[in-house]
Structure 1
Amino acid sequence: MKAADPRHTALTILMRCEKKTCTLDKSIDIAQNQLESLSRQDRNLCNAIVFGVLRHREYLDFIIKSFSKKPFANLDIQVLYILRIALFQILFLDRVPAFAAINTSIELAKKQTNKGAAGFINAVLRNAEQNHHTLALPDLNKNLLAHICTGHSYPGWLIKRWIRVHGGEKTLALCQSINTIPPITLRVNTLKMKRKVLGALLETQNFGVAYTNESPDGIHISSPGKPVTQIKGFTQGLFQIQDEAAQLVSQILDPKPGEIVLDACAGLGGKACHIAQLMNNQGRVIAADLESHKLDSLGAETQRLGIENIRVQQLDLLKATIKDFDGYFDRVLLDAPCSGLGVMRRNPDTKWKRTLKDVLRLAAQQKKMLNAAANLVKPGGILLYAVCSCEPEENEQVITAFLQKRKDYSPDNAMEGISALSNATLTTGDHYFKTYPDGHIMDGFFAVRLKRIDKTP
């Protein structure tokens, strides 16, 4: 199979992503050479197939089970993905004729598997294409759990807990929203340009432009038709890609020019760059992370953005002490490793990789990391805890355990001027910041601002 075939590339990405240790992002990165060899149209088709198969996997499997004469559990994993790829095109992509989806999948099967498998795939697909409309989903009123899991493609363990926490109506709305294609959201680099000036520049390139409702720096764009890195203004450092909820986390931290700030789990540095931007390049931002490779690209990114006050530092937060730094910090951001269940719109593989055990394991780690980060804040300073998950174990329960243990901290509700926290739909009864994908054009996030009590007279 030629590398320039979008369906073969999609199959390669999905098969690699099947491994629990390989995220979708990583699998796509590995396939970058294959993707770059595709035309823009074929690259868009490949992208639609990969994300679509993962978003709708359980429903596609429901169709396969209904028309396969072989037990589903006995299907070869490669055969199964070829079936999923073809069915996604037949059921969800109007621009691909059914015969084309079937024929290309048969050819793919002949070259990737064997003649017998190709015949089986042909039979299942033709039967499904002709008769899938006769199938009925589990009844919404009689079996809500099965209806959502099958019709909207989610694992049972997650939907059970969401129904228990949110109720059926909210859970259904969440699932529908998460399965939609999210917008591309940019954050203007205010060191170089104002938001409306960037918006006008994007409109001259025929993008649909909508300004974010809560973040003063965000812009949603539609109909890009090309990679963001090829948009006029990217090379000049006029913007970064960042979801609105993630932008609001840095706004809630509210760093001031001249302060010393730590981003304790900086990762690729999106929030660290925003913090530096909010500080107007004055003061110092330490971008720390355990994984040095995540920090490797930050130097080039700060240069592109014209940021001069970030210093990177490889660091295991759980082993860190104040001796690892020049002194205590005015503000510390802990954007802790989490289940990522709040960003499934962008990472649909998370649906099928995370388990309840992962949530509990990560929550235990988050408690330790929050306590470690708290030791680095100066008296009177600010500690912000954030995760891209809306699960109680990773949210309120972490904060409750922390405040019970750390009597030198209290919730900081004196956040005048932070508009996001004046919006009742973005805060809980405890004044915690919490967003969901339904109802807001942003990812699911949770954040709490804490203040270290200053006991000096």
Structure 2
Amino acid sequence: MADRHAVNLARAMTAPVRQAAHNVLTDVDSNRYDLATALDHGRRDLVDSRDRALLGEIGFGVYRWRAALDHVISQLSSRALTNIDDSVIRILRVALYQLIKLDRIPTHAVVADAVALTRETGVSSASGFVNAVLRTYTERRRPISFPLIPSCENDETFDHTAAVNYLSITLSHPSWLIERWLDRHGWTSTAAWVRFNNRRAPVTIRPLLNGVSQSELTTRLRRTGVHTVATRVAQRGLIVTDGSISTAGERLNSEYIIQEEGAQVVTELVCSLTATLENPLILDLCAAPGVKTVGLACNGNPVRVVATDYRERRINLLIENLAQHNISNASVVQLNAEQPLPFTAAFDVIVVDAPCSGLGILRRDPDIRWRRTAEDLEAFSARQLRMLKFASEALRPRGWLVYSTCSTEPEETNAVIQQFLSEQRDFRITRPPTPEFNSCIEPDGFLRTLPFRDGIDGFFAATLQKRIP
């Protein structure tokens, strides 16, 4: 497994955290919630901030290193993983992650907590098995080995099988995805991408430009003990390097949004289009939770935004986010973007930030690695194409249709646009009017950020303009 990471969490795991960690993994593995939502629920009953921090560390860590942890379990146990109860596997993953990665939690507490948890979760018959597996690890009774990095001089001469084993087991990514990336990008780029995904994502923020500039926000945050540097690719963003953004105070909270850098690039692309228009009307489809909507509405130029989503919970989240930032130039409409839209062709810019596999943001959402399959991609692309078709009908002539995803896979990116253009002859690809992003704009005119090249999460955007009839 990767280098040992010392986490400054001095307290041993208390009973509430132990149960919360197991509940989080159960909710994610059963597809009840994604990891971020499960952690939000799990933290609600934890009073101590250190317990909440530990819960997040365990949740993200287990999904980031799940394949490697399972590889360890398989070497410590006489049983095959398929013959171990799912609840027991979760208990072992949590315990082994702490033993291997968190060196401030006492070993005896980790083992005792894991054994106790078998009784609390209804698998008490496995308590002896869990104790034996963990004692075998802590007492080094069996050697643990991992697939080694393959020897290679360049992308043409590497051992493909060894590369897949190393990247999928030692560096903990699904083998089907590793195969795809190796075929498209080769060994060097794929290995760099996987290592990128296994690093912790920084907090990135974007100033709301109708009220504060990047430099002004930098100064104000510094006064509260929060230090930042400029983002790599996005032109207005900040990366938090020291301090906690949560301590900046309510007044400053209304002056920025927390938004990953790849998403900021897409927001800035859309803003570059609206900046050429006079008080444009923007349609933001699939807008919840509303971070992008806030960024568009507060870009420093007069705009009008209609933000939409489908499910009641997401609509409420969207409304809350707009209210929190006092957005008065955006309205919310509940609709299904996979059906004809209740609008005339009146919008100057339409943004289809389509639901996708999320395979470009595995650093930030490591659980996605294990919740997606190759078969999911065709289903996503079919939904994305439907949304594009219906959105195009609400766009005025010479308006722009921006399609974006946080996926890097061809089925959800180039293939969707190619199919759309083959059916909609009145649209053409236009190169985004953002020379500052030239390094991310490919010869086909699409904007694409790649972790191994750009140092940020993977996003895709296509800018399509509607011809005059």
One-letter code aligned to 2:198: N
1:274 to 290, 295, 312: 295
User: Which structure 2 residue ranges, 5 or more long, are not aligned?
Assistant: 1-12, 151-158
Task: Report if the CA contact (8 A) 2:58-2:94 is conserved.
Answer: yes
Per mean C-alpha deviation after superposition, the further-off stretch among 180-189 and 428-437 is 428-437
Q: Which residue of 1 aligns with 2:396?
A: 378
Q: Which residue of 1 aligns with 2:6?
A: none
Distance of 1:194 and 1:148 partners within structure 2: 42
One-letter code aligned to 1:96: I
1:239-270 alpha-carbon deviations (Å, 9 max, x no partner): 11101111111211222351111012212111
Q: Which residue of 1 aligns with 2:147?
A: 138
Task: Report if the CA contact (8 A) 1:189-1:305 is conserved.
Answer: no
Q: How far apart are 1:329 and its partner, in Å?
A: 0.7
Helix, strand or coil at the partner of 2:452: coil
Q: Which residue of 2 aligns with 1:245?
A: 262
Distance of 1:130 and 1:4 partners within structure 2: 25
1:190-240 alpha-carbon deviations (Å, 9 max, x no partner): 222221222122222323311113323211113445xx5553246751111
Distance of 1:132 and 1:313 partners within structure 2: 61
One-letter code aligned to 1:382: W
How has the CA–CA distance of structure 1 residues 97 and 222 changed in structure 2, closer, same or farther, with 3 Å as cutoff?
farther
Task: Report if the CA contact (8 A) 1:328-1:377 is conserved.
Answer: yes
1:278-334 alpha-carbon deviations (Å, 9 max, x no partner): 253x3310001122321213333223323211010011223224xx23651111101
Helix, strand or coil at the partner of 1:262: strand
Task: Report if the CA contact (8 A) 1:421-1:431 is conserved.
Answer: no
Distance of 1:292 and 1:285 partners within structure 2: 20
Aligned 1:1-400 pairs, distance under 5 A: 5-35=16-46, 37=47, 39-113=48-122, 115-131=124-140, 134-141=143-150, 142=159, 143-225=162-244, 228-233=245-250, 236-253=253-270, 254=272, 255-256=274-275, 257-278=278-299, 280=301, 282-321=302-341, 324-325=342-343, 327-400=345-418
Task: Report if the CA contact (8 A) 1:437-1:443 is conserved.
Answer: yes
Q: How far apart are 1:166 and its partner, in Å?
A: 1.3
How has the CA–CA distance of structure 1 residues 347 and 304 changed in structure 2, closer, same or farther, with 3 Å as cutoff?
same
Per mean C-alpha deviation after superposition, the further-off stretch among 250-259 and 84-93 is 250-259
Distance of 2:326 and 2:236 partners within structure 1: 17
Q: Which residue of 1 aligns with 2:443?
A: 429
Q: How far apart are 1:276 and its partner, in Å?
A: 0.9
TM-score (normalizing by structure 2): 0.89
Distance of 1:4 and 1:184 partners within structure 2: 29
Helix, strand or coil at the partner of 1:380: strand
Helix, strand or coil at the partner of 1:297: helix
Q: How far apart are 1:91 and its partner, in Å?
A: 1.1
Distance of 1:77 and 1:443 partners within structure 2: 31
Q: How far apart are 1:439 and its partner, in Å?
A: 4.1
Q: How far apart are 1:115 and its partner, in Å?
A: 4.8
How has the CA–CA distance of structure 1 residues 33 and 401 changed in structure 2, closer, same or farther, with 3 Å as cutoff?
same
One-letter code aligned to 1:271: K
Task: Report if the CA contact (8 A) 1:13-1:50 is conserved.
Answer: yes
Helix, strand or coil at the partner of 2:201: coil
One-letter code aligned to 1:291: R
The number of residues matched between the two structures is 443
RMSD of Structure 2 on Structure 1 (CA) = 2.2
Q: How far apart are 1:181 and its partner, in Å?
A: 0.7
Task: Report if the CA contact (8 A) 2:345-2:393 is conserved.
Answer: no
Distance of 1:450 and 1:21 partners within structure 2: 36
Helix, strand or coil at the partner of 1:80: helix
1:126-155 alpha-carbon deviations (Å, 9 max, x no partner): 212333883332243352111211101111
How has the CA–CA distance of structure 1 residues 96 and 384 changed in structure 2, closer, same or farther, with 3 Å as cutoff?
same
One-letter code aligned to 1:201: R
Distance of 1:184 and 1:30 partners within structure 2: 21
1:380-432 alpha-carbon deviations (Å, 9 max, x no partner): 1111010000001111111111222221111112x44x24432x2x1222121
1:169-201 alpha-carbon deviations (Å, 9 max, x no partner): 211111111111100111111222221222122
Distance of 2:399 and 2:464 partners within structure 1: 9
One-letter code aligned to 2:256: F
Task: Report if the CA contact (8 A) 1:248-1:420 is conserved.
Answer: no
Distance of 2:217 and 2:252 partners within structure 1: 14
Task: Report if the CA contact (8 A) 1:3-1:34 is conserved.
Answer: no
One-letter code aligned to 1:62: H
One-letter code aligned to 2:403: Y
Distance of 2:300 and 2:208 partners within structure 1: 12
Helix, strand or coil at the partner of 1:317: coil
One-letter code aligned to 2:446: Y
Task: Report if the CA contact (8 A) 1:4-1:34 is conserved.
Answer: no
Task: Report if the CA contact (8 A) 1:63-1:132 is conserved.
Answer: no
How has the CA–CA distance of structure 1 residues 234 and 246 changed in structure 2, closer, same or farther, with 3 Å as cutoff?
farther
1:156-175 alpha-carbon deviations (Å, 9 max, x no partner): 21111111111122111111
One-letter code aligned to 1:180: R
Distance of 1:373 and 1:297 partners within structure 2: 22
User: Which structure 1 residue ranges, 5 or more long, are not aligned?
Assistant: none
Task: Report if the CA contact (8 A) 2:206-2:259 is conserved.
Answer: yes
